[in-house]
Structure formats: C-alpha cells, structure tokens
Amino acid sequence: MAKKLFIETLGCQMNVRDSEHMIAELQLHEGYELTQEVGEADLILINTCSVREKPVQKLFSEIGMYAKQRKPGAKIGVTGCTASHLGEEIIRRSPAVDFVLGARNTSKIVQVLHKPKAVETSIDYDDTTYQFADYRSSKVKAFVNIMVGCDKSCTFCIVPYTRGEEISIPDDLILDEVRRAADQGIKEVILLGQNVNSYGRRVSGGRKGIGFTELLRRVSRVDGIERIRFTSPHPLHMDDEFIEEFASNPKICKNIHMPLQSGSTRILRQMRRGYTKEWFIERAAKIRALTPDVTIGTDIIVAFPGESEEDFADTLDVVREVGFETMFSFKYSPRPLTPAAQFPNQVDPEVADARLWRLQEFQQEIHDRVAAAQAGKVYDVLFEEYNSETGMLIGRSGNNFMIRVPASDGRLVGSIAPVKIVKTGRHALTGELEG
C-alpha cells in the first residue's frame, strides 16, 4: 500500500505553491499519496505562516492534536515561515515533531524525511533553480513562482527574516514552466513573488534579468495561456509602463492587489513603505482611468504603533477614495525580529479592536454596493470546478468576481464562457450562460 501524506497549508499563495512542490517531491521520490484523513497518514506536514502572532500560537496546540490523532509511527514535519523563524525551538517545545523545514529549503523535503530531528532553516539557501517534480492542485490554473524572498524592510513584517533576501528565477525557467502548464491544459497562470515589481533585479546564478513588465509580455505570448494574474505588486514600484501594460494586455486579468497598509503618510513613513497617501491614490486612479471594470484589492493594518485617530481617518479616506472591491484587514501584531515591535506607543488593544471593526463595517458597505452593481453585467468566466451537490459551475471573471452558474454537469470546467449576472450577493454572484 502507498504511504499517505496529510498536509495542512496556512498563509499565502507562496505557501500553497511550496506545498505543491513538497507533494510533488514526495509523490515522485517516496511514493506518497495524498489523504484528507490525519488518522491514516504516514506523514503529517504543517506548512506554517508567521506573518501574525495568532497562527503561531495555534501551531503548538495543533501539533499536540495531530500527535494524538496520528497512527503509530507516523511522522510530523513543520515547514514554512514559522519553521524558518523558530527552527529547533519547535522540536524543543514539541518533541512529537520529527523535522523542521524552513520556507527557503522546500527542495530538501525528501532529505529531512530520512534525518531524525532534522532542522533545515537557512534563509540564505537558494533552491530557485531546483527542478521540482510536477504536481498541481488545479487542472485549470497554475501557480508559478517568479522570485523568492523580499528585499524590502517594512518595519512590521517578518517575511524578510523567514524567506530571506530577494532572488528572481531566470525568465527562461519561468517560461518553460508556463509552457509545460499550457501543454497540460492550464488556462490561467498566477505569477508569485513577495514584491513582483522588482522582478529581475537579482537573478539566481548572477544572470542578467528582464523586468516584470517584460516578463508579463513574454508570458502573455505563450499559446494556450488565456489569463495571467500576479501577486503581490508593491504600490511604490508600480510605474507607468507597468500600469499601461496591465491595462492594455488582454491576457492580464483586470484585478490587482495593491497593499495599502495605512492611508496616513506619517504612519507609512514609520512602516517604511516608501510612498505617501497621495501617491497611492494617484496610482489607483491611474489604474482605474485606464482599465474599465478593473477591481482593486488591498491589505490594511490598523493600530500600527503610534497610529492616532487622525492617522486612522486617513486610512478611511483612502478606502473611500479608491473604493477597494476587496480588502483584507488586520490588527497590527508585533512580530519578533521586526523594528516596529520595539516602537513605543503600541496602541491599546481595545482601540485597535474598535478601529478594525469600523474599517470592516465601512468596507462592507462598499462591498455590498459593488456586488449590487454587478447585476446585468456580462463577464467571461473561467470555470474552475463543478459542485454536483448544488448543481453549480463555479468560476471567476477576469476581474476576480466569484460567479456560480447552474448546470447539469461539469463539462465546461476548464473553459471560458460569457455569463450574465442575474443575482448578486455578499459572497458570490450567480449568472446564466449567454447565448
């Protein structure tokens, strides 16, 4: 019988791709098969995130739970950003853990499996040109790493300490991977990096790089790829050439993530984000002016150290002005190793809760208005799955609305068809096939 792998993936899309890489390596070299049942797994992997404190606290109770549920002899491995950050402390606090594998060391998954109590967490390790085995969780869309690490120094962010310095993957390797995906019938690629606009500045092997805008052009020339998404760009580095390419290249989906973090220029300076309130608003306005039907998503942190009522009002201002279609909002969480954790004037937790609540209420109103305004619109939808229980095809428009369409079967999964929106709601839109 094949050995079974249970994997839990927390955090961002880079982690999703790292999990796919580990699954691929374990399938090819060790004969593992995936399972959804912890109790029947021979190997349990927790691919962790450390961007905020809560999931890190939860990790240890989770390990305890898996240790109880596992079958005798099953191994537990902790991977990802918290693995990078806490390293051997994880094994010290939880002796049930067999190995710890940092986010920059994914290609060593097979090695650590055979090394009792292995801890591989170097953030200088470069496996960007490693040829991972092939595994994708979707037959329709493919995550493709274009770079690893981050050279920014946002004062709140632990990522540079868990994923190390920024290295771009050579463009020919990226294009090979995109072509392979297209050959397998993939329609959409999602290019991944912590800061995609700085793609190409330092390429592995010291090779000369092309910039992100040029990479987008080359990826869009791959036959069979109909849609390109990417995450995340950095508002500071969204230059005119990039925005014009985004707006005019028909293969690039008209949805963009623009992490604001704060609307106050004073706080942005403390965060070392490099842009002002006005710069951000102007960039978003330019994108909207050039790109009909574009949707803009964002991340916002409330209650960064020293944030006053006035600073918070600036954030609400930007939210009102830009009208983000989607938003992830967080309370500031002090992270070890980061400068902001040492800043004075940490905001009172009750004030932080109240601001988060106000921001989310405000955003909900915008979101409801946006959803209601979609009635009657026609979008090209790429269908990703069919739910036979509800009889619904589920897919996304280019501008990233989730759209459901009643259908008797899943034949349309993997294809793009025009859909007219007939019903709007908070979580999904419902439509009918056109024509």
Hey, which residues between 329 and 388 contact ligand 5AD (CB under 6 A)? 330, 332-333, 335
Hey, which residues between 234 and 253 contact ligand SF4 (CB under 6 A)? 234
Distance CA 356, CA 282 (A): 25
Q: Which of 100, 76, 188 has the alpha carbon at shortest distance from 136? A: 188
Here's the x/- map for ligand 5AD, 243-272, by CB under 6 A: it reads as: ----------------x-x-----------
159 binds ligand SF4 (CB under 6 A): yes
Which residue in the shown chain puts its C-beta closest to ligand SF4?
157
Give the nearer residue to ligand 5AD in terms of CB position, either 296 or 301. Answer: 301
The interface region with ligand SF4, picked from 66-74, 154-162, 283-291, 416-424 by CB under 6 A, is 154-162
Here's the x/- map for ligand 5AD, 292-311, by CB under 6 A: it reads as: -------x-x----------
Q: How far is the CB of 368 from ligand 5AD (least distance, A)?
A: 23
Q: What is the DSSP string of 165-212?
A: S-EEPPHHHHHHHHHHHHHTT--EEEEE-TTGGGTTSSBGGGPPPPPH
- Cβ(181)–Cβ(226) below 8 Å: no
277 phi and psi, to 5 degrees? Answer: -55, -45
Hey, which residues between 149 and 188 contact ligand 5AD (CB under 6 A)? 156-157
Give the nearer residue to ligand 5AD in terms of CB position, either 25 or 307. Answer: 307
Q: Which of 156, 154, 142 has the alpha carbon at shortest distance from 230? A: 142
Give the nearer residue to ligand SF4 in terms of CB position, either 136 or 152. Answer: 152
Distance CA 403, CA 412 (A): 14
Reading the block at residue 188, the tokens are 């959409």
Give the nearer residue to ligand 5AD in terms of CB position, either 32 or 230. Answer: 230
Q: How far is the CB of 364 from ligand 5AD (least distance, A)?
A: 18
Distance CA 30, CA 110 (A): 8
Distance CA 23, CA 45 (A): 10
Where do contacts with ligand SF4 occur on this chain (CB under 6 A)?
150, 152, 154, 157, 159-160, 194-195, 234
